[in-house]
């Protein structure tokens, strides 16, 4: 079948391939996720990433070739971060009342996540630049890359760590919160959402948005706070030491 | 068309954010400054109505936007095969610690506040 091989070579080298593959696989993964009543382990990002990576490895298409098409989706991360102001604005009255407590929780959670990653990474003997790439992993991927660069980590690795962190949070959050006895009322949902946004940024926030609107809005706020706190504090901290 | 105008606002604010971030060498990335600007700009219906339509769509599909970066794991397979187990262990534990500390802090603060009232 030389004809088919030629066609595949042509198609796999155009941006159309990366864009189409990302959208089609995600739409299918999303449909399965909905069918399984949004079970955490059926997370559509996890399965889409695994399926696409497997297809690329099996067919020998390189990541840069894939990204030539996928960049059109990646690009929307910027406007999506800007758009996070919308759910916050809708809840501006209650946020004004709770500002101090939310900031305190964001600081505590951010320090716990980054600090434990650095300490554990050092304890298990990972190379220094890998440990430094772990520090900003609770911040959304594009921002984590910038911070890693500033403190001496590897940007691409930091982005990958951020995505894995997001997935771990989205997969495990529900079970952890249930184990801690966090209730399923309005206050409980805001605490759950805020924790997901703090410890696992956009992927946690996406999970929170799908489950509960209050949780989603607080996750968006937490993700924004984490970006501001981490981009201020992490480079400052590493300049001191 | 409303959604398109919303996207135009989002991109415009992100661009202003990038300009401010680079021009004044602020530590915040451009989109984050754009988000802060939008928080102020939403008080005007001219901005609010189109942005609402576009933002709801974008945020409903937020998780899709992380797929291209996520697939990038495959470019670090050698590092993953050497340290993969340890890296995963560190990420899982520190994420659980971050989630737990945040949720318990906020839960206790909510409860304390409710008792005071």
Give the pLDDT means over successive 10-residue stretches in chain B (117 positions).
Answer: 89 94 82 90 93 89 86 79 88 96 93 70
8 Å CB contact of B70 and A104: no
Look up the pTM and report it: 0.82
Q: How far apart are CA A201 and CA A194, in angstroms?
A: 10
Closest residue to A45, CB basis, from B32, B67, B72: B67
Put simply, the chain A residues between 130 and 169 with a CB less than 8 A from any chain B CB are 130, 134, 137-138, 141-143, 146, 156-157, 159-169
Using the structure block, give the residue that is written with the tokens 């300009």: B19
Q: How far does Cα B53 stand from its chain's mean position? A: 19
**Do B86 and B116 fall within a single domain?**
yes
Residue for token pair 């202003």: B16
The pLDDT tens digits of the residues spanning B69-88 come to 888 878 877 777 888 889 99
Q: How far is B26 from B8, CA to CA, in rounded Å?
A: 24
- Is B88 found in the same domain as B38? no
- Residue A215 near residue A208 (C-beta atoms within 8 A): yes
Structure tokens at A184: 């399923």
Q: Which residues of A touch B105 (CB under 8 A)?
A: 104-105, 108-109
For residue B67, give Cα distances in angstroms to A85, A117, A161, A206: 23, 23, 13, 13
Residue A76: both structure tokens together: 């929307």
Counting Cβ atoms within 10 Å, is residue A144 exposed (0-12), middle (13-18) or buried (19+)? buried
| Structural element, H or E, at residue A210 | helix A186-211
Quote the domain boundaries for residue B111: 74-117
Contact status, residue B15 vs residue B37, Cβ threshold 8 Å: no
For residues A83 and A223, the answer to whether their CB atoms sit within 8 Å is no
Q: How far is A4 from chain B (nearest CA, A)?
A: 26
Examine the domain organization and report whether B56 and B83 are in the same domain: no
Nearest to A108 among B13, B32, B101 (CB): B101
Q: Do B11 and B57 reside in the same domain of the chain?
A: yes
Please report, in tens digits, the pLDDT of each residue of chain A (241 residues total): 567 777 777 777 788 889 999 999 999 999 999 999 888 888 898 899 999 999 999 988 999 999 999 999 999 988 998 998 888 888 888 888 888 999 999 999 999 999 999 999 999 999 998 999 999 988 888 788 878 888 888 887 888 899 899 999 999 999 999 999 999 998 899 999 999 999 998 889 988 988 898 899 899 889 888 888 888 888 888 776 6
Tell me: do B20 and B40 sit in the same domain: yes
**B18 and B46 both lie in a single domain:** yes
DSSP A179-193: HTT--SSHHHHHHHH
Q: Could you give the CA distance from residue A139 to residue A40 in angstroms, rounded to a whole number?
A: 21
Cβ pair B62:A209 closer than 8 A: yes
Q: Are residues B47 and B1 in the same domain?
A: yes
A residues 180-199 closer than 8 Å to B (CB) = 180, 182, 187-188, 190-192, 194-196, 198-199
What is the domain partition of chain A in residue ranges? 2-75, 80-240
Task: State the CB neighbour count (10 A cutoff) for residue A165.
Answer: 29
Tokens of A135: 């520090």
Site of tokens 């996207």: B7
Half-sphere exposure of A27 (CA within 13 A, CB side): 6
CA dist list (Å): A184 to A173, A193, B67: 13, 11, 30
State how many domains chain B has. Answer: 2
């Amino acid at each position: 079948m030389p004809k088919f091989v030629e066609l595949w070579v042509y198609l796999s080298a155009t941006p159309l391939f990366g864009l189409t593959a990302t959208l089609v696989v995600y739409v299918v993964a999303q449909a399965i996720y909905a069918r399984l009543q949004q079970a955490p382990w059926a997370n559509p990002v996890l399965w889409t990433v695994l399926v696409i990576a497997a297809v690329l490895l099996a067919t020998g298409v390189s990541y840069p070739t894939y990204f030539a098409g996928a960049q059109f989706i990646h690009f929307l991360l910027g406007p999506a971060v800007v758009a996070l102001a919308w759910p916050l604005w809708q809840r501006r009255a209650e946020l004004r009342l709770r500002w101090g407590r939310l900031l305190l929780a964001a600081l505590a959670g951010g320090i716990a996540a980054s600090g434990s990653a650095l300490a554990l990474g050092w304890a298990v003997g990972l190379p220094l630049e890998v440990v430094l790439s772990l520090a900003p992993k609770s911040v959304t991927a594009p921002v984590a890359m910038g911070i890693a660069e500033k403190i001496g980590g590897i940007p691409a690795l930091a982005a990958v760590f951020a995505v894995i962190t997001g997935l771990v949070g989205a997969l495990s959050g529900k079970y952890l919160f249930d184990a801690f006895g966090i209730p399923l009322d309005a206050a409980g949902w805001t605490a759950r959402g805020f924790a997901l946004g703090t410890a696992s940024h956009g992927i946690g926030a996406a999970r929170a948005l799908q489950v509960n609107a209050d949780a989603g809005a607080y996750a968006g706020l937490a993700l924004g706070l984490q970006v501001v706190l981490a981009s201020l504090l992490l480079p400052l901290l590493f300049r001191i030491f | 068309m409303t959604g398109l105008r919303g996207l135009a606002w989002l991109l415009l604010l992100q661009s202003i954010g990038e300009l401010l971030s680079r021009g004044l060498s602020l530590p915040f990335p451009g989109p984050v400054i754009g988000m802060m600007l939008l928080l102020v700009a939403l008080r005007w219906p001219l901005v609010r109505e189109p942005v609402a339509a576009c933002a709801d769509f974008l945020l409903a599909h937020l998780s899709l936007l992380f797929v291209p970066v996520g697939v990038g794991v495959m470019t670090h397979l050698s590092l993953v095969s050497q340290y993969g187990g340890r890296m995963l262990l560190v990420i899982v534990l520190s994420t659980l610690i971050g989630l737990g500390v945040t949720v318990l802090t906020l839960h206790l603060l909510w409860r304390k506040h409710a008792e005071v009232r």
